[in-house]
Structure 1
Amino acid sequence: MEVMKSATVALAGLLAVLTTSCSSDTAASGKLGAATAEDDAAWPFAVEEVDTFDAPWAMAFLPDSDDLLVTERTGALHLRDGETGERVEVTGTPDVVDAGQGGLGDVLPGPTYDDDGTVYLTWAERGDDGVGAAVGRAQLVTGEDEASLEGLEVIWRQTPKTSGDGHFGHRLAFSPDGEHLFVSSGDRQLMDPAQDTGNTLGTIVRLTPDGQPAPGNPLADEGGVSAEIWSWGHRNPLGLEFAPDGTLWSSEMGPQGGDELNLVEEGANYGWPEVSDGSHYGGEEIPDHADGDGYAGPARSWNPSISPSSLMVYGGDLFADWEGDAFLGALSGEALVRVDLDGDTAGEAEVYDMGERIRAVEEGPDGAIWLLEDEGAGRLLRLTPA
């Protein structure tokens, strides 16, 4: 659980950069060294505070626009005007279960947004058998000083619903061609279902834009919800993003330690809870990932935990040297983490101490990096080259 992650990383001073070398033992384990005076001088960002929110969870820019959609876990959806900074609360949002890690989650304009205004949302909903994640789509209709969701329909539900209020996952990503919708689904803190492909807990699913199982999925012949699954053995994947080269990446919260950045591949089993580079919260050891164990190992892992909350793969030119690199928001780490990606390989990592829990990270239309701090601070920050 996010609330159980302990900030054991020594992060010294606001706006300090912690750098690990890809050739060092600490980089291989994900452990971070202490900040130095030289690190302070290397701070690469100018940081601008542009707004604040109460309980932000996700954000997305509208296509060809500076206008920004921001979700709050409590169920509110805001549309922020990129020119004036004014914002309106969008009406027509779904009823959500605002408890623990549940609530309104991700938001993403659909591939046909320019034609029909379709946006996709995720949230925690209640049913007869408990609570689970849902994905819906609706038309975003805007007018003078108002905005609404029209025709909201649920197109996918996490199966099965369970008790508890953690590990929903529910991040969204569209394939570059717009043909497939990927949804991350957490294990709901039950662990074992992540190895059972008869349900969608602990999986990443691949759907058509209307929520049906995508043709050609690895378990299509098994039918039912199994036909939705693209990969499994995940714990709580809270980041999901395509890189400019078309590879799909996920950031995933491990248990006590063992946070992961994964290259998501068709039909791969990522091992949870059979293997992990972390330990159970009670101290019980879990076998580490190892070559030949039959599971897909992480491209990078962190121990102690950083609590990755989100994922963005940079495709702009404002930070030209970082094109194709992964950026993770860190909760217990209170940081922005950059990982050098080269094809399917994750290399050097840098950790920028932000002094607050970072809930979401997004690339702006001009290549700036935008951050949302978690509830309690809630600032919307815009990062440009120093």
Structure 2
Amino acid sequence: MLGAASRASTGDNWRKRYHALTLHNAVWLNDMPCLPFPSTWPVFVPKDKLANWFESYVDAMEINYWGGATFEGGAFDDRTRRWEARIRRDGEPRVLRPRHVVLATGLNGAPNIPDLPGLADFAGEVTHASAYQEGASHVGGRAVIIGTGNSAHDIAQDLHAHHAEVTMVQRRPTTVISIDPSAALGDAAYLTAPTLEDSDLIGLSTPYPDLLVDSVALTARIKELDTDLVTALNAVGFRTDYGEDETGHQMKYMRRGGGYHLNVGCSELIAAGEISVVQHSDTDRFVPDGLRLRDGSLIGADLVVLATGYHTPQEGLRRLMGDEVADRVGPIWGYDDEGEVRNMWRPTAQPGLWFTAGNFQMCRTYSKVLAFHIRRALDEPTPS
């Protein structure tokens, strides 16, 4: 298991993110394989607590983890059926020749940095959401956040807590769900099933047609519960939806990996006018002092946060393995024609290459499936 070069410690992938970051689903959904979280933990786990747990987990489970290591690329040898994997560890180049490579880098690849009109002329600080740290560095400042997904809301709320003047720029409608009670409805099986394994089976073995029916029913109930919240958001110009086919935030996640917000208080700030929202269609361009709107007015800013998402996993693969491998594998994530998640936890068109991603629940459950696939492949004879 490799860690990124700048993240020598196991938990740094979480620890080095912005201070306000927490898991947005309940602790009982997120237990690690073989070693569940303590029963005393909070419902929504903060990032530093999770980072410390990862370090303890690696030690307790005796995982061979390489921190300070970067995977720089690989090539597959069709004759030997092995990879030539190029690693840089603590600055030193290494070459490994495994039979199998698992990319467990998640759905978020390289940050998506859009070419926004005039952004190069902006005189203040520009950062992507992945590099944002904390509002304490911007006390009393003025910030423009491009995007309205989970990270955008978390950062807006953090900046507001540090007395910054915050404006969010909405590019498309967002599905907004209250953490409690609405988001908790989807996790109900984890509070009623006898064991964690039973809950995983119930939650992740539903056939696709039934999953759609269940999602529509769940979303209809969520709409009832969140009527007042969504009405208040719409009244101040924040656009909302409930996804394709009214299937809600969970299907948005499975189809495109984003487009929703699990509310932990930021929506109330928006509805009260304490955090402003403008539509992207009403903006003109950035200027040195901030963001100019089409009507000629100016939103002053010292900071621009690009909460604009990430490139797709296929594009991340392209950067690591090249066009030929990326094109052979095809799209990663989302549903295929059979209602299965594309190229996840199963053989791909590229021999010896596997993928895992998703939330803790999915990774915990499907890691077993992936392990069985690789164990079977390792038992197959290799060319002499």
Q: TM-score, normalised by structure 2?
A: 0.25
Larger % of strand: which?
Answer: 1
Q: Which has the higher helix share?
A: 2
Larger Rg over CA atoms: 2
- TM-score of the superposition, structure 1-length normalised? 0.25
